Structure 1
């Protein structure tokens, strides 16, 4: 039987390989038909062949193969780099591990917690495996695969967070900050009260919301609770497009105060109101405060038309809009167009930047030319010759403060103080030496004022003083001249600190001789001249003189002058001259 079946095939092959010129044309047609048959057979096999279902831990054995993975969706990010790409990065988990699936030409996105079947190519990129899927049919799930959400309160999570790990839960609350429509990664807080919260929880938002969410808005979110080892705290992971807004609750618009200008950056992206004198020059709008400081205003078309009719310039004006950073003006602006003006950005905070880096650090390094605008603060005082330091998410130290390493483009001529607000354009690189992510600062603008100098107490000791190294501080004491220069001594003790006094300093003149004064300067450490030790020095030191009348504030308070004004009695003669002339408040000639 075997020989009989082989005879026809043998006959065909003999005809094909025959060199007879008379049958050469027939042979070509037979070969062509046979090739078509083989190609069609292979295509049919490729279509009907079902990809193999593979455990995630075994994907390393299927490099460059199309496979199926079955598991639960635990997170997804839509348009990771904000460039409009039709791409969603999903993370799928099964009993053996997790895998990222990069899905292009997407369809409906499965909710978090959905059990799905994903089909795609297994890709090995420098030892890091992920799957690449294309088309709406790459993911499949049915109604029975959708998650069942458990509704809980923030207090439930606070009492027993471990009970909800790995579960999809739904909670509502008030969001702590405004969320811009195109922010792919955002870190905020969810509280149980907009102004007097008993509980708050970190909220990590992935994927752009597509619409503004105002600070203190009441929202409903569904997601998963996880413990953040880097910050030693719990966080709730949600997807931006899935945030539900309770429109029945309207948050209050924040009124800014010119006296607290240094804290305005906390309201970045929020709707604000600020009163001031409106100045319009060549179409440029600015709002001027009582201290002479200004903030730019970006009006609507209707505002500009009304201003021409009513002559707004020079009038007291309540500017209402969204507080945004203007790249064109390198300053904060109140945008009446609700954040839709040109070249305006809502800078991310250091906390949001860290959340973005923690979510998928490898992907961030794949886009080294992507620029980010970050609204942050200096962690330590930054010397002019320093190029490496840290950004933090709050002006003063708080427990759990977020720090990010950064590098400046070069040296400077001035110090940048600890707690100084800064808006910087940065890119992200990998630091081989320190084995961590690092922000490269391309350009920056200082905003607001640094915190006031800290008061140092002699009883605090060297360790506590070390926390204020390189910062401006206040120290009480008496100045005394030694063989090697001026020292600030603690009265009644042997404690002292070396002084590097300013030229023409008032603290060492004859009027202030042997007086206990409050001194102001930068606390630095230097080597001891004769011992193997480090000692503190108050650099650029002088007695504190807030009103600038060349009388130390503590001296004025002790002698009856007003330390807040140059001319305490308003007679046209400044306090210094009165003291030198013997006509001060406590003087017989006054």
Structure 2
């Protein structure tokens, strides 16, 4: 009897080891926690090493029609194209309310040639004409990518256009790139991509989700290499990560290479091995060099990387959208690594005044309001002596942190480089106080008549009782005898201040002045009415300034 019992136990153990796992629907996985199961479905997305931590891991999403499940695949094998019908085998894991299938080894995913998707090859214009026709479908497109993609970016965004130049494109479609491409893809490259087309409600636009390693680059197609303009260094951020040309005077001092141009700050150069052998020949010479434009966080400056050096301080800046995408896709992973630094380009959502203390603000993904405008809270280190303007472009070295007080993720800024500022907004008296509130703390322009009441200056609308407090610059010509009584356009910062007399909050135009482009002491408004040029101090060249000629005519 004892021998029979041992035989039965051994038989059951053998059966448990060799039996084929059950094929289950994703909707029923909760009944199979900690069991090995088989799931058959469609591969709709995957990403290698999702946290850029060096793990030999691939995360995939499988859809069987009853639901979707994540496959965490360690030591993975080959991966088929998106849209392939696959069979996966693994353990059902349930941890803190999250469920996934965990597998190890190349045999965890299988498919046959008949399971591969039949993907239509379309033109971007085909999708533009009737995108609903392809909603949720796997399609293949050929076009030109809008920006350079670094080889190690696990989540990225770009646009695919029908022309390499943005201004010449008839159609463009947004792409979300999952998993690193493992190679540099230059902006303007001709590529073929395959992915799932879907409508993004937040962005109010159509999006193509593609896999980075599956992007096919046409290396035979020529790429336009931009030439950097020294006079427009604030626009270099738009070329970040691209291969660029730059001409200047090369200086080499104690191993430090720098290019100096006609304007702006010098550009550091990271030489290649071949360049080092030419150091003595090139030093002090005017030269044109080609390399990748990267941001050096160690010195907070742009560099031309010719050597392909792998350094944590060198990075191709990404847009704030890329970081927001990563936070949205996996906030826990981003927050669990607070020491990882990201270099992003973004826009200030609101103006931030000078301060000796750290200040709170917001980064946005566009300079002004657009449908789907996205922003994230940031902490800006002090002290700062100048305003950060709403809509101003910035480059920031940031880390991701958790704000316990407000229960949200935020960015801690470690270094901030200011870029272009928005042009001042022109206010109209007819807009009213409520509408003006959207431009509070911004630099604005307002046409009005300067009047003094009991020692206090106001800017009023001619012919009405509407007025705002006016605090002009100390050297403003707008309040001298020559200009008083003339309605002119003033430029200043619109603030809300407390009026102690009326116990109300009123608007004030601070640090205000009138336009005087040629600095001849005669405002542009009076120059236009007098018939002189606002671009020349002495319009007729007779040796007498325009201001003096205007005075002589009075």
With structure 2 as the length reference, what TM-score do the two structures score? 0.89
Among 415, 430, 433, the alignment partner of 2:387 is: 415
Aligned-partner Cα distance in 2 for 1:546–1:406: 38
Aligned-partner Cα distance in 1 for 2:551–2:455: 36
SS at match of 2:439: coil
Aligned-partner Cα distance in 1 for 2:198–2:428: 42
Report what 2:220 is aligned to: 248
- Provide closer, same or farther for how the CA distance between residues 64 and 78 of structure 1 changes in structure 2, counting only shifts above 3 A: same
- Could you tell me how far 1:571 is from its partner in structure 2? 10
Aligned-partner Cα distance in 1 for 2:526–2:468: 21
Structure 2, unaligned runs of 5 or more: none
For residues 457-494 of structure 1, the C-alpha deviation after alignment (integer angstroms, 9 at most, x for no partner) is 33444344333221112223332211261111233443
Determine which structure has more spread, i.e. the larger CA radius of gyration: 1
Report what 2:419 is aligned to: 448
Among 70, 86, 89, the alignment partner of 2:40 is: 70
Matched residue pairs, number?
Answer: 548
Among 137, 142, 154, the alignment partner of 1:184 is: 154
Report what 1:316 is aligned to: 286
Aligned 1:284-295 pairs, distance under 5 A: 284-295=256-267
Report what 2:98 is aligned to: 128
Report what 1:536 is aligned to: 507
Query: Is the CA contact (8 Å cut-off) linking 1:295 and 1:332 kept in structure 2?
Result: yes
Query: Is the CA contact (8 Å cut-off) linking 1:55 and 1:69 kept in structure 2?
Result: yes
Aligned 1:79-478 pairs, distance under 5 A: 79-195=49-165, 196-311=168-283, 313=284, 315-337=285-307, 343-384=313-354, 387-394=359-366, 396-397=367-368, 399-400=370-371, 402-408=373-379, 410=381, 412-413=383-384, 414-429=386-401, 438-478=409-449
- Provide closer, same or farther for how the CA distance between residues 567 and 273 of structure 1 changes in structure 2, counting only shifts above 3 A: farther
Aligned 1:519-558 pairs, distance under 5 A: 519-531=490-502, 534-545=505-516, 552-555=523-526
Deviates more, 1:362-371 or 1:288-297: 362-371
For residues 491-518 of structure 1, the C-alpha deviation after alignment (integer angstroms, 9 at most, x for no partner) is 3443322112334444334454334443
With structure 1 as the length reference, what TM-score do the two structures score? 0.84
For residues 412-458 of structure 1, the C-alpha deviation after alignment (integer angstroms, 9 at most, x for no partner) is 434211222222233335667766x5332241222323123233333
- Could you tell me how far 1:547 is from its partner in structure 2? 5.6
Report what 1:486 is aligned to: 457
Among 472, 494, 507, the alignment partner of 2:478 is: 507
Query: Is the CA contact (8 Å cut-off) linking 2:519 and 2:537 kept in structure 1?
Result: yes
SS at match of 1:157: helix
- Provide closer, same or farther for how the CA distance between residues 73 and 317 of structure 1 changes in structure 2, counting only shifts above 3 A: same
- Could you tell me how far 1:108 is from its partner in structure 2? 0.8
- Could you tell me how far 1:72 is from its partner in structure 2? 0.8
Query: Is the CA contact (8 Å cut-off) linking 1:74 and 1:92 kept in structure 2?
Result: yes
SS at match of 1:44: helix
Aligned-partner Cα distance in 2 for 1:81–1:548: 56
Aligned-partner Cα distance in 2 for 1:557–1:282: 56
Query: Is the CA contact (8 Å cut-off) linking 1:469 and 1:523 kept in structure 2?
Result: yes
- Could you tell me how far 1:253 is from its partner in structure 2? 0.6
- Could you tell me how far 1:555 is from its partner in structure 2? 4.8
